[in-house]
Amino acid sequence: MRLTIILVDGFTALDIVGGYEVLANVPAIQVEFAAKQRGPVWADTRRLALSAFKSFEEIETTDILYVPGGPGVGPALEDDEVIETIRRLAMTSTWTVGICNGVELLGKAGLLGGKEVTTNWAVREKVATYGATVKHVRYVRDGKLVTGAGVSASIDASLYLAGLIAGKEFAKTVQLGIEYYPDPPFGNGTPDDAPDFAKKMVRQFEAEGTERIRSLTAPV
Amino acid sequence: MRLTIILVDGFTALDIVGGYEVLANVPAIQVEFAAKQRGPVWADTRRLALSAFKSFEEIETTDILYVPGGPGVGPALEDDEVIETIRRLAMTSTWTVGICNGVELLGKAGLLGGKEVTTNWAVREKVATYGATVKHVRYVRDGKLVTGAGVSASIDASLYLAGLIAGKEFAKTVQLGIEYYPDPPFGNGTPDDAPDFAKKMVRQFEAEGTERIRSLTAPV
């Protein structure tokens, strides 16, 4: 199976690598990173770059389409080539995965009508405008669509998908391989349980995301 | 503060990106990726590359030295330039972070004598040979040394360090920003609680790591 991970300028790295690290460890899956052009694509911090080794136009079909999020989603929503690529590949995929606010890109591509999804807690209302029912959960499946909540939820969503593809017992070996027995030092909970000051700070930070990625420059 | 992340050929991506995503969100921290040479460095899967934008020789000091793991640690242990760079930068750092079997590199650099550390569950005995006391925990601090268990433990270890640097309340905002309220679909526990078949498979997979990264080729 081919797993195609969509890279857009200004992605959030853990949205991608959390899922990649799980799914790349399923032996049947071959990973490819695709972007508008081959070469390095810079993350939201402008301090990390992942290499795209295929351009969108080089890919005709895929088995697993993986759409991550980040501040780069704002500009990408207005980019016809990105949206058309997602729409086109989703028509061929066995599974379509959306993580964090990358789920908005699936919505813009017309893939969310009547679907149950999850997304980053801060963009639930936006995602609902695409006709989806947004669940307050960490991951959810609706048919061939698997969506994850924000950033680190890419790990849980992808372990769940690995279980669907390779079986629960194999997924448990992947969990051990990535030593995913989480123990957050400042407690667990849900985003809804987070302190109000934290919610306010993160909403502000995310609201400024597009402006921030435009103002920061990559080191090379 | 400068955070220098060491890239060696054949790294495990989540060892890096779990910690990067936490620490890059602390405003005082500027991230840099360093390798023997500038340019793309390929992960253990040979399907993901991160860009190094500094060479080791361009870096004289750092504030946070971050040493991740992966199958590439095997060859790196025999690479004097890598070990000498780690030893040299650790002399200048305020914090030194080791993740997964990257902790072995710290040992080879002579940084573990008498220290309490953690590491990937499968290499605890190896790490102990460097004079460290290996705790079966997800992260631990001993002086300026913060170590994390395998792969995804980079998130917990780095949240803990973010708390030490920027305060617990700020670290909680980072936790919300990366939506780290984990819910592993097949349960939580410790590596010691994992099923025996999974332990056997992962030990076998990890034992073949060096051979595997030598046999796989990058797509470009």
| 8-state DSSP, B152 | T
Specify the pLDDT at position A77.
98
Specify the pLDDT at position A220.
81
Distance from the Cα of residue A153 to its chain's centroid: 9
Residue type, A144: K
Contact criterion met (CB below 8 Å) for A5 and A34: yes
Question: Residue A199: pLDDT above 90?
Answer: yes
Shortest distance between the Cα of B192 and any Cα of chain A, in A, equals 10
Distance CA B24, CA A42 (A): 14
Count of domains for chain A:
1
Select the residue from A152, A159, A168, A220 to test the B interface by mutation, using most B Cβ atoms within 10 A: A152
Residues of A in Cβ contact (< 8 Å) with B169: 195, 197-198
The catalytically annotated residue of B5, B8, B100, B157 is B100
* Subunit contact B13:A14, Cβ cutoff 8 A: no
Shortest distance between the Cα of A209 and any Cα of chain B, in A, equals 12
Q: Which positions of A are catalytic?
A: 100
The number of helix segments (H) and strand segments (E) in chain B equals 9, 11
Residue B151 is inside which H or E element, if any?
none
Question: Where do the H-state alpha helices sit in B24-146?
Answer: 73-77, 80-92, 102-108, 124-128
| Domain membership of residue A87 as a residue range | 2-215
Residues of B in Cβ contact (< 8 Å) with A20: 13-14, 48
Q: Is residue A196 part of a domain?
A: yes
Q: How many CB pairs under 8 A join A and B?
A: 223
Residues of A in Cβ contact (< 8 Å) with B198: 169, 172-173, 175-176
Q: Which two tokens stand for residue B54?
A: 């500094």
Specify the pLDDT at position B91.
98
Q: Which two tokens stand for residue B86?
A: 């780690």
Residue type, A113: G
Residues of A in Cβ contact (< 8 Å) with B120: 179
Distance CA A170, CA A190 (A): 27
- With a threshold of 0.90, tell me whether the complex ipTM lies above it: yes
Specify the pLDDT at position B127.
98
pLDDT digits (tens, 9 = 90+) for B70-83: 999 999 999 999 99
- CATH code of A82's domain: 3.40.50.880
Specify the pTM.
0.97
- Mean pLDDT across the stretch B161-188? 96
pLDDT digits (tens, 9 = 90+) for B6-16: 999 999 999 99
Q: Is residue B220 part of a domain?
A: no
pLDDT digits (tens, 9 = 90+) for A114-141: 999 999 999 999 999 999 999 999 999 9
| Closest among A93, A122, A22, A212 to A109, alpha carbons compared | A93
| 8-state DSSP, A11 | B
Shortest distance between the Cα of A185 and any Cα of chain B, in A, equals 6
Beta-ladder partners of A5: A33, A66
Specify the pLDDT at position B164.
98
Q: Is residue A220 part of a domain?
A: no
